[in-house]
Structure 1
Amino acid sequence: MLIPKKEKVKSTPFSAFFRHAKSAEKRQFFDRIAKKAIEEQQQMLEKAKSMPQ
C-alpha cells in the first residue's frame, strides 16, 4: 500500500513562533491567551446575570 506524501504548506509567523520559541515564551503566550479568555467569559457571565429572565 502506498502512502501519499504529505503536502507541504506555507509557514506562517504563528507556526514559526511555536517551532523556534523558548518554553518560557510559549508559556507567556498561553498565559496571556488564558487570561484574556477568562476575562471574556466573566464579562459574558455578568451580561447574562443582568438580563431579565
Structure 2
Amino acid sequence: MSETPVTVLGLGDMGTALARALVGAGHRTTVWNRTAAEAEALAAEGAR
C-alpha cells in the first residue's frame, strides 16, 4: 500500500481517533485544530 498524505481538520473525539488510526496505518498525516495544545499529543505520535 502506498503512503497517502491526509489532513484532519478538527481534533475533537472523532478527529483525534481518525488521526491516530491514519498515523498508525502509516499515512503522512497533518492535523489542525483551533488550539495547538490539542495537536501536540498527535504530533508526538507522528502527525505533522
Which structure's CA Rg is the greater one? 1
Per the normalisation by structure 1, the TM-score is 0.28
Structure showing the higher helix proportion among its residues = 1
- Which structure has more relative contact order (CA 8 Å, sep 6+)? It is 2
Per the normalisation by structure 2, the TM-score is 0.31
